[in-house]
Amino acid sequence: MNCKISIAESRVWLVWGRVAWFTAVCLGCFGYLGSTRVSFAQEPAVELDAAAKAAEARLRAILPADSEAMAMLEAIVQGQSMTRQDGWFKTAISQSKYPWESQLSRYDQDDDGQISRAEFAVDGQWFAALDRNGDGVISREDHQWNVEPASGTLRQLLRRLDGDDDGRITRDEFQRFGDGLLSQEQDYWSLDELRRWLDPPPRVAGVPAERPTPSQLMIGLEKQEIGSHLPGPNVGEIAMDFTLKTLDGQAVTLSQRCSEKPVVLIFGNFTCGPFRAEAGNLERLYERYGEQFHFLVVYVREAHPSDGWAMRRNEAAEIVLPQPQKYEERSAVAKQCRSFMGDRIPLVVDEMDDPVGREYSGMPSRLYLLDGDRQVLFKSGRGPHYFRPSELEEALLWHLAAAGSRGAGDAEPTRPENESPNSGVDGEADDETLGANLQSEAAWRKLGVQFPRLPLWATRLAETLPESTLALLELDYRHRRENPLGAERAAKLRWVVADALESVRGRQAAEFDLRAEGWTEEEVLIWTSSWDRADAEESEVMRFARQLTVAGHAVTDEVVASLLRQSDPETVVAAVHTVAFANFQNQLYLGLLDNEHSDVGLGPIQPPTGWRTNESSPLPSRRSIEEANRIAADLNLVVPPLDWGTVNVPWIKSKLTAQTQRSLRVPLPELSRLDFLPEEERLRSEKVIWSRVSLGYQPELTQGWFKLMRTFRRESELDRVFSNSMFWVVTRTNECFY
């Protein structure tokens, strides 16, 4: 056997072996995991007309119950007002790779909560642009300036100034505005008169405000005029490539543009008033940053056509047109929009079935910043409420600052050696030692990608298993931030597992996620001290998680049947997946870390898609078995021999036979659920019960786990006999004869 492990590395492999046991137990005994769905079973608060009711029925048949689009549908039938806090708007807010907390940690060397010009240490012009209030430092207030909506009075003033509603206030418009303020009989306006003039006029009794009826909204939702049904790619994900044509027929391919320099994507349409209102801001961005970034407008379907949800604002601006039905008609409207709003930014027209607009969730308007690999660096919230070029500009500036402060080959901006690395987006700096911070810096260089502050376990795995570390970070993010059970319930399950294993760090990570979900410290303390006395349904799931952790072999058929009576197979399997991964992760905490101090960067980190390890930093050579034995002898590490006297082949076969004769605890999913797999993998998964159950009920968590294990096997060059032997040891110890 070609054994190439060190004593330290063997601890990591022992952990991987324990996880193999948990996946076997969970998959073999319970089926695997899946995604839960949120049920909206409320009675509608409004009456829809026949066409809208038919649209609602069709949407309910196709929309996932936990999707943004379904949230909007429910908001419509409940009669909500479609403000920033209704429907999908309250969840589809902006995302950035450069949030304030991470930038503060990057540049704020004296920890005073703001960034001085000396600390910024790159282009002074970018510093001035980020210092919105001009007080000489970049602070949270400067960032907040970008995200707070303008007051109603300011919006009213801008609407009155911008007479033609093209997003630009010209000198002539200012002149007309001033001339119209005072009549010949007046020589001045009092402040109260000006306030009354600026405030919106009171509504006439019986005349509704300019808002659509619920029926108009429902039909607009089905047509995707008020927004795409899909959420669009998130920050850190790779955006879809596309090729669309300009108005003169030239093909533009996104990936080609990205390969030249980062790309700003601007989605919009002529009848969207808020999109028109930002035309001047967008053109200014193009003037300031067109040398460093490609800009591209993607023209999508109309938001307010005359044969849909028509707007009086459009009528006042004489922009009245039906929804185009042919590509030539859409191109003609796009040309009219371009001549009206300015023709400096390149524009392409989406196809009539909106493949790009739907995939990017670009209707009615949206903004993206993509890097050279089409990775999303910034994603605005859904338009019209969150279509804010000022937020995009901030992302452009931070991106330029990060690129400008790197030396050739550096993964991070240069900083003094005694400074700590970046804080994670959701993590918090603590009292970890300088050595741990420098270790994180070294891990960045090894991983070959740029991260926020890494958790301590990742820095220790990165030296010998960099690609496995990145795959594990990705799976950790999936379990904590995108868990089908919801982040809150997943955190509770992980806390119970960590408590059963007496893992301080595991409990801290779970408590961090509960606070991230809005829990107060007092609420966290109350729940963690009385979790087993919660309501009956929740406490049953939590006790199941604890039993599966400390004595999985003792879980009975009735326990699983009881869980299935209160939920569906997807939910039960999701809980098992969460418990299995939590056990694995806590073994890492216990095996690799000091269990007395809080971890660094407790927030989950999503690695960029398509990463590769830094080829300039080769893996260290592994120790020979002779060297490992010498180290073990020096450390007096003596492994007591196991008593295998009672184990023989007939005994093992009898246990396996008894296992195969048992009834399944979780029903097999339909084979059609595996149709998404490549043929070879699908045929293989059909033959293995736990693969079929796992991939059928929870493909994303399963594939994330398989990706991690494949990466580890390849990177570690693990000998098969070692992995199989370790599997047998852990399953025998836990009395599992799968």
User: For residues 254 and 35, what is the distance between their CA atoms, to the nearest angstrom?
Assistant: 33
User: For residues 627 and 96, what is the distance between their CA atoms, to the nearest angstrom?
Assistant: 48
User: For residues 452 and 663, what is the distance between their CA atoms, to the nearest angstrom?
Assistant: 47
Residue type, 251: A
- pLDDT value of residue 20: 46
On the question of a cis peptide bond just before residue 384, with omega within 30 degrees of 0, the verdict is yes
- pLDDT value of residue 36: 33
Picking from 147-151, 535-539, 548-552, 582-586, which range would have the lowest pLDDT averaged per residue?
A: 147-151
Task: Find the mean pLDDT for residues 517-534.
Answer: 84
Q: Band of the pLDDT at 80, cuts 50, 70, 90? A: confident
Residue type, 405: S
User: What are the tens digits of pLDDT across the range 285-341?
Assistant: 999 899 999 999 999 999 888 888 788 877 877 888 899 999 999 999 999 888 877
Encode 642-671 in three state secondary structure: CCCCCCCHHHHHHHHHHHHCCCCCCCCCCH
- Three-state SS at 259: helix
- pLDDT value of residue 522: 87
| Whether residue 161 has pLDDT greater than 90 | no
Element housing 251 (H / E): strand 251-253
* DSSP string of 618-637, one letter each residue: PPPPPPPHHHHHHHHHHTT-
- Three-state SS at 68: helix
- pLDDT value of residue 304: 85
- Three-state SS at 485: coil
CA angle 68, 224, 80 (to 5 degrees): 55
| Whether residue 221 has pLDDT greater than 50 | yes
- pLDDT value of residue 274: 83
User: What are the tens digits of pLDDT across the range 389-432?
Assistant: 989 999 999 999 887 754 323 333 333 333 333 333 333 333 33
- pLDDT value of residue 308: 80
Enumerate residues 6+ apart whose C-beta is below 8 A from 239.
233, 254, 360, 368, 370, 374, 375, 376
Cβ-contact 570, 433 below 8 angstroms? no
Enumerate residues 6+ apart whose C-beta is below 8 A from 74.
40, 42, 87
Cβ-contact 367, 228 below 8 angstroms? no
User: For residues 366 and 91, what is the distance between their CA atoms, to the nearest angstrom?
Assistant: 15
| Whether residue 556 has pLDDT greater than 50 | yes
Cβ-contact 129, 145 below 8 angstroms? no
| Whether residue 488 has pLDDT greater than 60 | yes
- pLDDT value of residue 434: 37
Say if strands 366-370 and 376-379 run parallel, antiparallel, or are unpaired. antiparallel
What phi and psi values does residue 369 have, to the nearest 5 degrees?
-125, 125
Is 660 exposed, middle or buried (CB count within 10 Å of its CB: 0-12, 13-18, 19+)? exposed
* DSSP string of 288-321, one letter each residue: HHTTTSEEEEEE---SS-TTSS--HHHHHTT---
Cβ-contact 500, 637 below 8 angstroms? no
Query: pLDDT: is 603 or 551 the higher one?
Result: 551
- b/e for 563-577, b at 16 or more Cβ within 10 A? bbeeeebbbbbbbbb
Query: pLDDT: is 30 or 386 the higher one?
Result: 386
Element housing 529 (H / E): helix 521-530
User: For residues 101 and 392, what is the distance between their CA atoms, to the nearest angstrom?
Assistant: 17
- pLDDT value of residue 27: 40
**Which segments of 4-108 does DSSP mark as H helices, in order?**
7-30, 50-62, 68-77, 100-107
Say what angle helices 214-223 and 50-62 make with each other, to 10 degrees. 40
State the greatest distance between any 2 C-alpha atoms of the chain, in Å, as a whole number.
111
- pLDDT value of residue 591: 80
Residue type, 370: L
| DSSP-assigned beta bridge partners for residue 376 | 370
| Whether residue 650 has pLDDT greater than 70 | yes
| Whether residue 93 has pLDDT greater than 50 | yes
Query: pLDDT: is 401 or 719 the higher one?
Result: 401
- Around Cβ 408, how many Cβ atoms within 10 Å? 4
What percent of the chain stands above pLDDT 90? 22
- pLDDT value of residue 210: 57
Q: How far is CA 627 from CA 7, 300, 460, 618, 630, in A?
A: 10, 65, 21, 21, 5
Task: Find the mean pLDDT for residues 67-84.
Answer: 86
- pLDDT value of residue 178: 66
- Any idea which residue has 């047509």 for tokens? 223
User: For residues 370 and 368, what is the distance between their CA atoms, to the nearest angstrom?
Assistant: 6
| Whether residue 579 has pLDDT greater than 90 | yes
Spatial CA neighbour of 432 closest among 600, 603, 602, 596: 600
- Three-state SS at 238: strand
- Around Cβ 656, how many Cβ atoms within 10 Å? 12
Is 179 exposed, middle or buried (CB count within 10 Å of its CB: 0-12, 13-18, 19+)? exposed
Cβ-contact 21, 734 below 8 angstroms? yes
Spatial CA neighbour of 130 closest among 150, 106, 151, 160: 106
| Whether residue 166 has pLDDT greater than 80 | no
Task: Find the mean pLDDT for residues 249-257.
Answer: 92
| DSSP-assigned beta bridge partners for residue 115 | 138
How many CA atoms, within 13 angstroms, populate the side-chain half-sphere of residue 450? Answer: 18
- pLDDT value of residue 276: 86
| Whether residue 121 has pLDDT greater than 90 | no
Q: Band of the pLDDT at 727, cuts 50, 70, 90? A: low
Q: How far is CA 333 from CA 281, 328, 646, in A?
A: 21, 9, 82
Task: Find the mean pLDDT for residues 460-486.
Answer: 87
Domains within the chain, CATH numbers bracketed: 1-36+436-738 (no CATH), 100-148 (1.10.238.10), 214-403 (3.40.30.10)
- Distance separating the N- and C-terminal Cα atoms of the chain: 26
Spatial CA neighbour of 421 closest among 458, 452, 459: 452
Query: pLDDT: is 161 or 569 the higher one?
Result: 569
Task: Find the mean pLDDT for residues 552-564.
Answer: 87
Structure tokens at 37: 């769905």
Name the average pLDDT for the chain.
Answer: 76
Query: pLDDT: is 121 or 730 the higher one?
Result: 121
Q: Band of the pLDDT at 250, cuts 50, 70, 90? A: very high
- pLDDT value of residue 64: 82
